[in-house]
Chain A
Amino acid sequence: MQPRKEQLPPGIRGLLVRLGRIDRRWIYLAVAVAIGVPMLAELRLPEVPEKKARATFEAIESIPEGSIVLLSFDYDPASEAELEPMANAMVHHCASRGHRIVFMALWPLGKQMADKTIDSVLKYYHPDKVEGVDYVQLGFKTGNEGVIKLLANSIDGAYTTDAAGKAISEIPLLANVRSVGDFKLVASISAGYPGAQQWVQYADSAMPEAFKLIGGTTGVQSSQLLPYFPTQMEGMLIAVKGAAEYETLVTEKYPVTESPERLGIGRERMGPQLVAHLLIIALIVLGNISMLAARGLKGGAR
């Protein structure tokens, strides 16, 4: 038996109710247009760095030139869009400051993320940096926080070779590095578990005064990390906005002339981001207006 056809009110009210029941594929199309059009139009807007990005910048600037820093790439291609800009800017910042970088990863695909940044930023803008002396890629180890726990006591408890198979004892950069406490700064660019939270829990708690800890995080994970700033984490970058602000600070102090777009990815993405946010707000408002319009109808408010 056919159900009775619902009687919708006439005029604008009926239109609003119908709009509230729109097929979700139209919403998907709206999202695609909201992101595609600003991207093709190359919408760019200036970024004003705020407190957290400044704190992150200061953390790297304040340690002595030539310090050894540890960068942990705790993300995978699923979060690359948010975290690659901050990773690129951080590596350029450390290298420009003369810091020597130790790369590692707690996520299986994190090593590939680090390799991408090394190839596109470190080798490109700083071709004078020598592997083994100015930077080293330790790679990934299974064990999540177990790796951090071992690193807190000794590097060679966790890593016997670097990612290319060279023995740790043969790497000049790590000659005087016994444990994570010997780094002046540890940065975790993280998308979830394991990530910056585990670095706070297992490394920073073990030796709170030994090094500065900064975290670059996705929007989703940032809520979890906010309580750690600024007491346990000295710097924090939240999502692509934090990345864009940090990029502004880094490129202002350490500008590059060739291919500057590698250090501008975050700022590029803020254009489509603006339109997407406005769309979400519009959708929420429209949904609520439709709900109000549908009040009292037999089908009820959805």
Chain B
Amino acid sequence: MSAPATKPNDRLLWVSLVVLGLVGLSVGKFFRPEPIAEAYVSVTTEVRTLVEEIPTDDGSTTATPAASATPAASAAAAAAAAPATSLASGEAAGQPADNTKTQPAQPKRIWVDADDPAIELQLKEGTLKRVPDVAQAVWDVRTPIDNRATARAQMAALEKEAEKLSAPTDPTGLTKEQFDQREAARMAALKVVEEKRIVSSTRDSLGIWVAALLTLGILSFLVRDNPFYKVVESILIGVSAAYWMLVAFWSTLVPDLFAKLAPDLVRATMLPGLAPSKDPTQDFLLALIPLGLAIMLLWRLMPKGGWIAVWPLAVVIGTFAGMRLTATIEADFMAQIAAAIKPAAAFTAVPPDEAAIAAAQAAGTVASPGRAFDFGGTLAAILGLIGVITVLIYFFFSLEHKGVVGKTARVGVWFLMITFGAAFGLTVMGRMTLLIGRFEFLFGDWLNVAK
């Protein structure tokens, strides 16, 4: 093959791609009403108040399983430092009672939504009491709205409603009582409308731009390997390694290992909803084994003594081998043989004919459906069995593929070719769909030219 001067052609290609992109974006910006990469969120404000459950007169209380001091107020919540906040593991009462007759039970403290009518009633009745000197926790929850048209329509409707409600009530022809009533209703309605905020989210719009540029960075590899692609690839490697580690940490290591080793600390700092253990000592002792194995596995990273990682590896391989042995024999061997040995003659049910109905009526019974030979089904069953046997013979390499065995193996190969041809067709379908998904993002979410 000749070595043509590719550099000038490639430069031209890059420049034309960038120019095309810029032209496309400018056309998009000026000739279309909706902006590129717009994102909307609906913002709701959550407010929680710390309350105490007041014990009932008969003295039955639900004592807290473990009263431990929380750390100082975190950045997210506006809670002031309470001396000892006992953490509940649920909003409703229902903890297993620990009746200690010698000490008075500590009242359970829970965070509730004070606007909830049921909670308001309980506060009025006195079964719940607001804890003084502890500020309410207030935060915004931003929920993305994926349908832009709906979001824009909702925003416009809310703006119109708010404008309508902002106009003060006309007092003409109303008594003072009626006017006050109407004003109160208007203020209440205005408050409700103002709380429903739908805003355009810069953070998410920026995110869509970032995602689009990163996507184009990966796609640029199709033109040629280039530094932009390498940078994006490096970011992907770093972010995914950290993400997988964090997912494993929060989903498994914290609740299944650390929670057993130091339940109080975990309950206080990370999983306040953790249920108390039936036997914490047994849990702790048993958890020392996976802790030890985990340390041994991580020791592999150390310059000396990395061989100790073989011990936890032995547990993993042994467990894996033991699980797989029985599962594959049952599901992939026995069950598959059973499914392959279908009845060689297949029949379909047909409605009974007139003679059968008459005979059944005479005998005082109902005619049962008849059977018809199903040629297609029978052929399919026989072909399927031939397929399984011939392919298995093909894979039997310790027998020389000559003569009868050779011919049978050849038939097996044909079955395999059909198998792989179908697999290829389905693979192509799968891969194309993935690309369709990315184009939907680029054209729909980013450029806003497709739905």
**Interface residues, chain A, with chain B CB atoms under 8 Å away:** 2-3, 5, 25, 28, 31-32, 35-36, 39-40, 42, 78-82, 108-109, 111, 119-120, 139-143, 145-146, 149, 160-161, 163-170, 200-202, 204-205, 218-220, 222-223, 227-228, 231-232, 238-241, 259, 261, 268-269, 272-273, 276-277, 280
Contacts and interface: CB of A to CB of B under 8 A. Distances in A.
Contacts of A276: 428, 432, 435-436
A202 B147 CA distance: 40
Interface residues of B, number: 59
A111 B247 CA distance: 10
Contacts, number: 168
B contact face: mostly helix, strand, loop, or mixed: helix
B429 A142 contact: no
A35 to B, nearest CB: 5
Q: Which of B90, B270, B436 has the most CB of A within 10 A?
A: B436
Given A81-B434, A219-B426, A280-B428, A232 B90 contact: no
B88 to A, nearest CB: 10
A100 B299 CA distance: 45
Contacts of A200: 331
Contacts of A277: 428-429, 432
Nearest to B316: A146
Interface stretch (B364-372, B405-413, B437-445): B437-445
Contact of A261 (B252, B331, B437, B451): B451
8 contacts: A3-B2, A25-B223, A35-B436, A81-B438, A170-B273, A240-B429, A261-B147, A269-B437
Contact of B432 (A35, A140, A149, A261): A35
Contact of B433 (A143, A219, A222): A219
Interface stretch (B45-53, B334-342, B354-362): B334-342
A165 B323 contact: no
B429 A140 contact: no
Contacts of A219: 426-431, 433
Nearest to A110: B247
A277 B428 CA distance: 8
A160 B147 contact: no
A276 B437 CA distance: 13
A273 B432 contact: yes
A3 B2 CA distance: 7
A165 B89 CA distance: 10
Given A167-B275, A261-B147, 20 more contacts: A40-B449, A81-B437, A108-B243, A139-B251, A141-B251, A142-B251, A160-B275, A161-B273, A161-B274, A166-B273, A167-B89, A167-B90, A200-B331, A205-B331, A219-B428, A219-B431, A232-B331, A241-B429, A269-B437, A280-B428
A227 B339 contact: yes
Given A149-B323, A223-B423, A201 B2 contact: no
